[in-house]
A and B are shown apart, each in its own frame.
Chain A
């Protein structure tokens, strides 16, 4: 276990600047997610921590030691790849023993004990002698995880490890990752483009946009208080609606509808952040904003409506007690205290 410190890390591939000076402090034992769209530089940053990519300028420290110029094998890290990168010519047990063998950790018997323990952790003890290609995607993924944790690295790097799994397996693995992290307390850096994954797994989320840190904070903070339009957009479930704050402090939408926003704001053009679960829906005629139903998505316990509000697409999440269909006009109401306002 060790902390990781990045100091003004910049990276350019030829003329393309990928990372514009990232500084980040990751505490020992912390689980940090790097969240962002593809191409935002999050994977590059992870590869820089691993040593697979050299920095253009800046400094990387692991456990207080400057490792900027160190080869990957000399940093005490382990990495789990999106494609798992299991060695096809070795059995499952040999794959998991590989980092121990290469780093010369323990005697052969000790190594085999560790392999057995790691296989038990991911519940694959019965598949030790199989070759990777005889396993399903989910099993391969567990083997990759076992291989990543077996050598007790100082830092565990996870590069979108769950993105190739179907939804059910992904949820199982999320739980497993949380439990393993709780037990081993490894400093973990987790790269993902899936906001739900980031929210459910991490102690801290670092949101990336175009090679810069857009915002960072605990999942609860970053979800409740996205600081910028990009952040609220990326954290998916929020709707952004253009509006103008009038002199009386209420907001006017593009089609002239008005709503109270409960905050003192200087007049001017703004974006209202309306979280999908904060909006309640009622039949036409009730007080509130008028909107038209476009689509209804049945989700089992709940229901998602896609609505047309003042010419913009708005999603809401609601119970199943009343149903509306395509073309219905409905009334929307929102607690003014839960509306966030981002200047434009």
Chain B
């Protein structure tokens, strides 16, 4: 047996699973999105793109996902650096702490935030008591609430992606930086950050796609007024039973994510040559 066939055999189960569980439904979704009473039609797309409400939903989805990605990177990078540089025991505890949110059910976790963020919840109360917020201050059913809840869940993806890369960076490079006149922060900026860029990119891709397609957390924390695209798709499927329109929205989401990601990957890939 040649190497080629052997490789193909090894890849076969994965490819089969992808074909059955991924490409088939996507194909179906594409077909469904142009399905109309008199054959193929683009009516669902023109309805979506012609309606300011739905465009607003799309814009909110992309904007929130970008904000969530940036915040995750800002928190995740220092966290990952610390995780990579502490002793093995402390690292284990930090990793457990970081992935803990993933071990709880999304509903339980989100309701936890509902309790904390609601009008009489711990956080708004505290802010009001400290005089940092007005009497009418609320966090629930705001975009801030969505961002907080999503960052909480998606941080592990960012932190662990970056951790993998940083822990492979030779610490002697940082020491060399120090002997060449870099302060600690300059070492981070000129040596660690550029070298951990692949991890930041991988983490950003994960976080962005996951947050753009997430639905439970934004729905519960943002409420019905602040819809994101995934929630709107859900509504079309379960409430208005307009499946072709739901499929069209899904295609728009898919295309939107690709539009953001492809230039991003291109841009960062060239730096790491």
Residues of chain A whose beta carbon lies under 8 Å from any beta carbon of chain B: 50-52, 71-73, 77-79, 81, 83, 85, 87-89, 98-99, 102-103, 147, 151, 157
Cβ distance A166 to chain B, nearest Cβ, rounded Å: 22
Cβ distance A184 to chain B, nearest Cβ, rounded Å: 17
A-B contacts, 23 listed (Cβ < 8 Å): A51-B178, A51-B179, A52-B178, A73-B178, A73-B183, A79-B175, A81-B172, A83-B170, A83-B172, A85-B173, A85-B176, A87-B176, A87-B177, A87-B191, A89-B194, A89-B195, A98-B180, A98-B190, A102-B180, A102-B181, A102-B186, A102-B190, A147-B180
Q: Which of A52, A85, A89, A99 is B181 in contact with, Cβ under 8 Å?
A: A99
Given A87-B191, A88-B195, A89-B194, do A52 and B170 touch, yes or no (CB 8 Å)?
A: no
**Distance between Cα atoms of A335 and B179 in the complex (Å):** 50
Q: Which of B182, B194, B272 is A73 in contact with, Cβ under 8 Å?
A: B182
**Distance between Cα atoms of A67 and B153 in the complex (Å):** 46
Residues of A within 8 A of B190 (CB): 98, 102
User: Which chain A residue shows the least CB distance to B197?
Assistant: A89
**Distance between Cα atoms of A83 and B176 in the complex (Å):** 10
**Distance between Cα atoms of A79 and B176 in the complex (Å):** 7
Q: Which of B178, B181, B194, B272 has the most CB of A within 10 A?
A: B181
Contact of A78 with B180 in the complex, beta carbons under 8 Å: yes
Cβ distance A73 to chain B, nearest Cβ, rounded Å: 5
Q: Which of B173, B176, B181 is A103 in contact with, Cβ under 8 Å?
A: B181
Q: Which of B175, B182, B186, B195 is A85 in contact with, Cβ under 8 Å?
A: B175
Q: Which residues of chain B from 256 to 273 have any CB-CB distance to chain A below 8 Å in the complex?
A: 272
Contact of A73 with B175 in the complex, beta carbons under 8 Å: no
User: Which chain B residue shows the least CB distance to A99?
Assistant: B180
Cβ distance A103 to chain B, nearest Cβ, rounded Å: 4
**Distance between Cα atoms of A239 and B181 in the complex (Å):** 46
User: Which chain B residue shows the least CB distance to A131?
Assistant: B273
Residues of chain B whose beta carbon lies under 8 Å from any beta carbon of chain A: 170, 172-173, 175-184, 186, 190-191, 194-195, 272
Residues of B within 8 A of A98 (CB): 177, 180, 190
15 more A-B residue pairs beyond the given contacts A50-B175, A73-B186, with a C-beta to C-beta distance below 8 A: A71-B178, A71-B184, A73-B181, A78-B180, A81-B172, A81-B175, A83-B170, A85-B170, A87-B173, A99-B181, A102-B182, A102-B190, A103-B180, A103-B181, A157-B179
Q: Which of A73, A98, A151 has the most CB of B within 10 A?
A: A73
**Leading 8 A-B pairs by shortest Cβ distance:** A85-B176, A102-B181, A99-B180, A103-B181, A72-B178, A79-B179, A85-B172, A89-B194
Residues of B within 8 A of A102 (CB): 177, 180-182, 186, 190
Residues of B within 8 A of A81 (CB): 172, 175-176
Residues of A within 8 A of B191 (CB): 87
Residues of A within 8 A of B173 (CB): 85, 87-88
**Distance between Cα atoms of A153 and B128 in the complex (Å):** 56
Cβ distance B50 to chain A, nearest Cβ, rounded Å: 47
**Distance between Cα atoms of A81 and B179 in the complex (Å):** 10
Residues of B within 8 A of A88 (CB): 173, 195
**Distance between Cα atoms of A147 and B195 in the complex (Å):** 20
**Distance between Cα atoms of A305 and B225 in the complex (Å):** 92
Cβ distance B168 to chain A, nearest Cβ, rounded Å: 11
Cβ distance A314 to chain B, nearest Cβ, rounded Å: 41
Cβ distance A92 to chain B, nearest Cβ, rounded Å: 15
Residues of B within 8 A of A50 (CB): 175, 179
**Distance between Cα atoms of A50 and B178 in the complex (Å):** 9
Residues of A within 8 A of B272 (CB): 89
Residues of A within 8 A of B195 (CB): 88-89
Given A81-B172, A85-B170, A85-B172, do A71 and B183 touch, yes or no (CB 8 Å)?
A: yes
Given A85-B172, A89-B194, do A77 and B179 touch, yes or no (CB 8 Å)?
A: yes
Cβ distance B81 to chain A, nearest Cβ, rounded Å: 17
Residues of A within 8 A of B183 (CB): 71, 73
**Distance between Cα atoms of A263 and B237 in the complex (Å):** 105
Q: Which of B172, B179, B194 is A72 in contact with, Cβ under 8 Å?
A: B179
Cβ distance B177 to chain A, nearest Cβ, rounded Å: 8
**Distance between Cα atoms of A83 and B177 in the complex (Å):** 14
**Distance between Cα atoms of A183 and B179 in the complex (Å):** 23
**Distance between Cα atoms of A79 and B178 in the complex (Å):** 10
Cβ distance A79 to chain B, nearest Cβ, rounded Å: 4
User: Which chain B residue shows the least CB distance to A81?
Assistant: B172
Cβ distance B172 to chain A, nearest Cβ, rounded Å: 5
**Distance between Cα atoms of A103 and B170 in the complex (Å):** 22
Cβ distance A118 to chain B, nearest Cβ, rounded Å: 13
Residues of B within 8 A of A78 (CB): 179-180
